[in-house]
Structure 1
Amino acid sequence: MRKRHSAVPHRLGRRTNFIPSLEGHPAKWAEVVDVAGDAAERAKVASAASATLLTIDTNCLPMVATADVNSLTSMVPDQLLPVRRPASHKGMKNYISRVVVPTEAHECRAVWCESFNELTHLRDLLITRPPTQVATQPFRLEWIMTTGVRGHVPDFLLRDADGRALLVDVTTRTKLDDPRLQAVLQLTATTAEALGWEYQVRTELPAQRVRNINFLHAGRNDTYQDRVGASRLLRQTPGSIDVQRASDLLGGGPQGFVRLWDLIDHGHVHVNLDSVMELDSTVAFQATGGGAPWLHTM
């Protein structure tokens, strides 16, 4: 029988950390900002970065480990546990939750989201670029500078079927005005580049997109249809396809709509998530919609 991961109680509504505190004096923010603003210095610090993580040992128990940039490239999201956990408390403003995500190593897997903002972005990624593995709060990156050390815990690490990795940070537009956060995100972006990973900084999604994502996610795994076969049927149908026609092709009535929402939610077909989904909304086989104002380059 598999052993369950040990639990740590929440205290006073603060995050519960599962890894040791960062050792050494914190680097002065003035130096962090200066390093992040100098491409050569930023690359030098990023290439020497290390990480502290919580992984699963051979007995299925959590184990603290460290890794350098070279070792991080082989990290498998399925083997990573969150290095910290959000805690609920009376009067809190954040909405914390757990989300069932795809996995290759386990029968099922759920991960933590620290806010409603994170939750909707994770659901958006599950739809728009379906991953095969997901870890949240996957490790703490650590950068050594002259005046000390600074650390940062990214929000998501995803891997797709082709083995490509995506590292994600979720924040708000107003917080991006803080030069200290900008510096940390720039260092994270350069470290991800050194790892050969894609990196995204995401801010609030448009309200209509959030409504659509949450509606689609509510029906996730609500059908046992052959998704590959169903999407092939739609692809082979001549002419343009809208929501009404697609649902009719998939069986019609409520069942046809359920099957269509399920295909969209698993990334097999697409609708424009930034607009209201109507019966005459176009069903496409590539992602549709305009730009992505919530994505920011660091």
Structure 2
Amino acid sequence: MRDIDLVRVRYVGREGTERLVRLEEAAEVPFEDGRMARVIPSYVGQGHMPGRYWAATMGDFVEYESVLESKWLTLLDFDREVTAFSSQPLEFDGIDGRGAWRHTPDVFARRRDGGALLLDVKNPQMRDDPRVRLQEERTRRVCARLGWDYAMVSEPDEQRWVNVDLLSSARRPLYLGEELVPRLLELTRRPVSIGELMRFMEFEDLARGVLFHLMWFQRIVTDLDRALRDSTLVKAQAEGVGR
């Protein structure tokens, strides 16, 4: 397939105005702040479950089209290098050696260094579909021209997802237990097991929730590629590193 000859980008700005720009102009557009370029359908009997995810990163809701997509929104929300993200952010309208094509990627993420990441979330059973592979190839080539990172993803690593999903339950602002934060940070200056840490807490259930909140914001860290147990070692992150 020869190089893409023409690609335009359609998006809807924050104020609700639809715009169509050349690909080169799209590199400067803050897609993380815009509105959705495509409405996610919702109807009785559909094969996936759309919904809304509350993102701690922005303090706002982001729509998703499937449970699988909601997992990746959660992982982006947990990523301390991501400062904002949006769903269905833009539509590519292109022409190449195989004809005209259009595609609306699933998620756009802005990184702390100003870089961008575009994600397509696909059911693993569809990854070998020739149409999906062509879509991936086209989108990857366009993102390379924009200087963006691109990935087509399916199921995340199972153990890491289980851990991040658990911590995400504590991602909202603290309304109870805020007074425990300094004590937990002090006790985790050196590695300590979760079980040992809880022995110092008068109200263990409350303290565990506050601990998970601090771990979500990565003020206290651990190895998330292993199962979280009372024997898991945790440690306070260096000041200014976590969110």
Asked if TM exceeds 0.5, the reply is yes
For normalisation by structure 2, the TM-score amounts to 0.82
Which residue is equivalent to 1:109? 60
Residue 47 (structure 2) aligns with: 93
Displacement of 1:213: 3.1
* Contact 1:246 1:260 (8 Å CA) reproduced: no
Matched, 1:53 2:4: no
Post-superposition shift, 1:251? 8.0
Listed as ranges, the matches of 1:213-252 within 5 Å are: 213-223=164-174, 225=178, 233=186, 237-238=189-190, 240-245=191-196
- Which residue does the alignment assign to 1:212? 163
Q: 1:180 to 1:92 in 2, by over 3 A?
A: closer
Structure 1 residues 135, 229: closer, same or farther in 2, change over 3 A? Answer: farther
Q: In structure 1, what is the equivalent of residue 211 of structure 2? A: 260
Q: CA contact under 8 A between 1:137 and 1:155: conserved in structure 2?
A: yes
Q: Which residue identity is paired with 2:10?
A: T
Question: How many aligned residue pairs are there?
Answer: 234
Residue identity (%): 22
Q: TM-score, normalised by structure 1?
A: 0.68
SS of 1:84's equivalent in the other structure is: coil
Residues 178 and 256 (structure 1), Cα distance of their counterparts in 2 relative to 1, 3 Å cut: same
1:13 maps to none
CA distance in 2, matches of 1:73, 1:250: 50
Deviation of the 1:274 alpha carbon = 4.4
- Tell me how far apart the structure 1 counterparts of residues 28 and 192 of structure 2 sit (CA, whole Å): 42
What is the 5 A alignment of 1:1-298? 35=1, 41=2, 44-45=3-4, 48-57=6-15, 62-101=16-55, 102-103=57-58, 108-146=59-97, 148-223=99-174, 225=178, 233=186, 237-238=189-190, 240-245=191-196, 253-283=204-234
Aligned partners of 1:126 and 1:265 also within 8 Å: no
Q: d(CA) in 2 for partners of 1:270 and 1:78?
A: 27
User: How many angstroms apart in 2 are the aligned matches of 1:157 and 1:246?
Assistant: 38
Distance in 2, Cα, partners of 1:230 & 1:164: 36
Structure 2 counterpart SS, 1:276: coil
**CA distance in structure 2 between the aligned counterparts of 1:250 and 1:78, rounded to whole angstroms:** 40
- Give the Cα separation in 2 of the matches to 1:255 and 1:188: 46
Partner of 1:8: none
Q: Tell me, in whole angstroms, the C-alpha distance in 1 between the residues paired with 2:19 and 2:183.
A: 44
AA of the residue aligned to 1:52: R
Distance in 1 between the 2:202 and 2:91 partners?
48
Q: Is the alpha carbon distance of 1:78 and 1:146 closer, same or farther for their aligned partners in structure 2, counting shifts above 3 Å? A: closer
The alpha-carbon distance between structure 1 residues 234 and 154, as it changes in their structure 2 partners (threshold 3 A), is farther
RMSD, aligned CA: 3.0
Shift of 1:123: 0.4
- C-alpha separation in 1, matches of 2:22 and 2:13: 15
1: CA distance between counterparts of 2:14 and 2:201? 42
Q: How far apart, CA to CA, are the structure 2 residues paired with 1:162 and 1:247?
A: 37
What is the alpha-carbon distance in structure 2 between the residues aligned to residue 251 and residue 73 of structure 1?
52
Label 1:175 to 1:212 Cα distance change in 2 as closer, same or farther (>3 A): same
C-alpha displacement at 1:254, in angstroms? 2.4
CA deviations 1:232-289 (Å, max 9, x no partner) are 6477x23x33323455678872232112211222244444444431011233679xxx
C-alpha distance in structure 1 between counterparts of 2:199 and 2:120, whole Å: 40
Matched residues in 1 for 2:206 and 2:142: separation?
Answer: 47
Contact 2:23/2:146 (<8 A) preserved: yes
- Where structure 1 has 5 or more consecutive residues not aligned to the other structure, the ranges are 1-34, 36-40, 287-298
Native 8 Å contact 1:231 1:268 kept in 2: no
Q: Deviations over 1:155-200 (max 9, x none)?
A: 1111122212111111122211112211111111121121111112
